[in-house]
Amino acid sequence: MDKSSRIYIAGHRGLVGSAIHRSLEKNGYWNLIYRTSSELDLREREEVQQFFNEQQIDYVFLAAAKVGGIAANNDYPADFIRDNLLIQTNVIDAAYHAGVEKLMFLGSTCIYPKFAPQPLKEEYLLTGELEPTNQPYAIAKIAGITMCQSYNRQYGTKFISVMPTNMYGPNDNYDLKSSHVLPALIRKFHEAKEKNEPSVEVWGSGTPRREFLHADDLAEACLFLMEHYEDNDIVNVGVGEDIVIHELAELIKRIVGYEGEVRFNASIPDGTPRKLVDVAKINGLGWKAAISLEEGLQSAYLDFQNNTFIKK
């Protein structure tokens, strides 16, 4: 990419998209294009086609998606599969027709089978059954991967697919009804501290293991891959280390400064027992994550405290 390339960031206000935006600006890219969902509804095919035809876009980071934790995926499965299929289908197809030089599709490690061997290698895709709690979202993401690969094969496009592990960082979603485990824990411990509550309930048994990647690390990986990778196979992005949820809870508790008890509600499903990605491929290409979990959590908590919603 040239510094003057016209680069469209789909989902620029979200956790991943905003990090990509920051990274592009930091690295000297200035011709950045973005639209809010009210300005451009990516679920509407004609709107998306017109936008691409008018903007003469060179590169696309497709980070726009409907995302959420176990509760949101369980309560709104139709919304998750419909909206994500519409968004990615419209953007990928419009990018092809508009002659976009290269597109990056951001997926998720939930595409891998629930009981796949650990760590998760890229070749494990479609080798077993998915985790039921987020199957509609995962199937939509798998469709996006297949669409990129199919367009590459049939039309000679350069559409690559990146599978980040669990994300956190600035502009995360802290809504307890739709957030993922890490931001939910930050909010729960903060509010319990503010209200001097004796205990905090953590959903699930606390035994699953999860890997967490700071959004700024992912953004740097995305720029690296956009500039250095063109193969048709997917690429995992992660740190290569995971943590037990009960240990994560204790770490966040300490960073927040909460002194009460932590209780686990095992009646709520845990989801996949473990989800650690194999990062040998991207490490072999020359990229490694740089932000430690403790350092990242401290900055995430600071971002949460500065987030205006907690004042409401």
Give the pLDDT of residue 176.
81
137 is catalytic: yes
Question: How does residue 308 score in pLDDT terms, banded at 50, 70 and 90?
Answer: low
| 6 in a labelled binding site | no
pLDDT digits (tens, 9 = 90+) for 158-167: 999 999 999 9
pLDDT of 250 higher than 60: yes
| 176 in a labelled binding site | no
| 22 in a labelled binding site | no
| 172 in a labelled binding site | no
Summarize the confidence of residues 248-262 as an average pLDDT. Answer: 97
Domain spanning 7-172+211-241+275-291: which superfamily? NAD(P)-binding Rossmann-like Domain (3.40.50.720)
pLDDT of 88 higher than 70: yes
Catalytic residue among 137, 151, 174, 229: 137
| 270 in a labelled binding site | yes
pLDDT digits (tens, 9 = 90+) for 268-290: 888 778 889 999 999 999 999 99
Region for residue 169 given its phi and psi (left: phi exceeds 0; alpha: psi -120 to 50; beta: otherwise): left
Question: How does residue 266 score in pLDDT terms, banded at 50, 70 and 90?
Answer: very high
pLDDT digits (tens, 9 = 90+) for 236-247: 999 999 999 999
Summarize the confidence of residues 197-221 as an average pLDDT. Answer: 95
pLDDT of 102 higher than 80: yes
pLDDT of 222 higher than 60: yes
Question: How many Å apart are CA 299 and CA 16, to the nearest integer?
Answer: 16
pLDDT of 198 higher than 80: yes
Summarize the confidence of residues 29-49 as an average pLDDT. Answer: 97
Summarize the confidence of residues 85-112 as an average pLDDT. Answer: 97
pTM over 0.95: no
Summarize the confidence of residues 143-152 as an average pLDDT. Answer: 98
| 107 in a labelled binding site | yes
What is the four-CA torsion angle of 253, 256, 261, 265, rounded to 10 degrees? -60
Give the pLDDT of residue 118.
93
pLDDT of 188 higher than 50: yes
Helices (H), the chain: 15-26, 45-55, 70-75, 77-97, 135-155, 181-194, 215-228, 245-256, 280-285, 293-306
Q: How many residues does the chain have?
A: 312
Domain boundaries, the chain: 7-172+211-241+275-291
| 188 in a labelled binding site | yes
